Amino acid sequence: MMKLMGQAVLFMEVERVDKDERLDAAAKVVVLMEALTRGKGRLTVRDLEAQTAVPRSSVGRLLLSLSSAGWVVRDANDRFCPSLRFLLLGRSGNISDVLAQRVAGPMRELALATGKTALLSLLDGDRGLCVHTEEPEMAVKFVAHPGMTVPLHAGATGKILLSWAPESVREKVFRASPVRPDGRQASESALRNDVQTIRRQGWAFSQEEWIAHAADLSVPVFDQSGEFVAQLGLAGLAGTFSDRFDELLQKLLATSRVISQNL
């Protein structure tokens, strides 16, 4: 009997140690993610060790796991920052600042190279929300601004968001058959066909569906784990895309890939 009791106590001690180790690892993850989220820039393993008192070996091991999970991004200089995917989990209050830091440069280059307004939008429930824009240095241009809402059923910007939205959101928009800003009804069958085509080809283009006299060309942006994150597009006057369509699309796709490496 005493032997059995001893074995039971030993088993309970081992189970408690395992549980404590799991809790300890979880606490370290929390501390690391808090440090990364508070940071003004990207942090190295040495930076995180100094800020959190977590041993360097543990920092490296946990960062590897967090990177695999898509919660942190590692750059070519072995510096780390929280991924956009992680920030979106809690709709972090500094998400606009984080986005601006990571997309402003590539989007500015895109706007200057194309002469079009570059815009980035996120899915916000059953609508889109513009979160960053870069305008070309031209007198006549499409003007967009952060905070502008985007319909999902009209225009390339919204249809990219619709095409990669959760199924429940897509079905809600399909069944609503809403009226487009141009006054035409967006039929369920037409929207379903548009989404299938857009997902297959990887881009969307429209003229005057969303805004009069404007056209937009848009592509999806994915994070490093392949999860859809945002819409990236070029907007300008209707009729100014056709002569340069392939060029504009290739520049847009290239910029999307650059941004994806930072998310």
DSSP for 208-221?
SSSSTTEEEEEEEE
Q: Alpha-carbon dihedral of residues 207, 228, 175, 119, nearest 10 degrees? A: -30
- Say if residue 262 is exposed, middle or buried (CB neighbours under 10 Å; 0-12, 13-18, 19+): buried
95-262 folds as Beta-Lactamase (3.30.450)
Q: Comparing C-alpha atoms, which of 104, 99, 102, 113 is closest to residue 251?
A: 113
Report whether pLDDT(22) > 80: no
**What mean pLDDT do residues 116-141 have?**
82
Alpha-carbon span 78 to 226, nearest angstrom: 21
Residue predicted with more confidence, 132 or 92: 132
Q: For the chain, give every residue range classified as CATH 1.10.10.10.
A: 25-89
pTM over 0.85: no
pLDDT digits (tens, 9 = 90+) for 137-147: 765 556 677 77
pLDDT digits (tens, 9 = 90+) for 24-34: 888 888 889 88
| Beta-carbon contacts of residue 226 (< 8 Å; ≥ 6 apart) | none
Q: For the chain, give every residue range classified as CATH 3.30.450.40.
A: 95-262
Residue predicted with more confidence, 250 or 183: 250
Number of residues written out for the chain: 263
The domain defined by 25-89 carries CATH number 1.20.1730.10: no
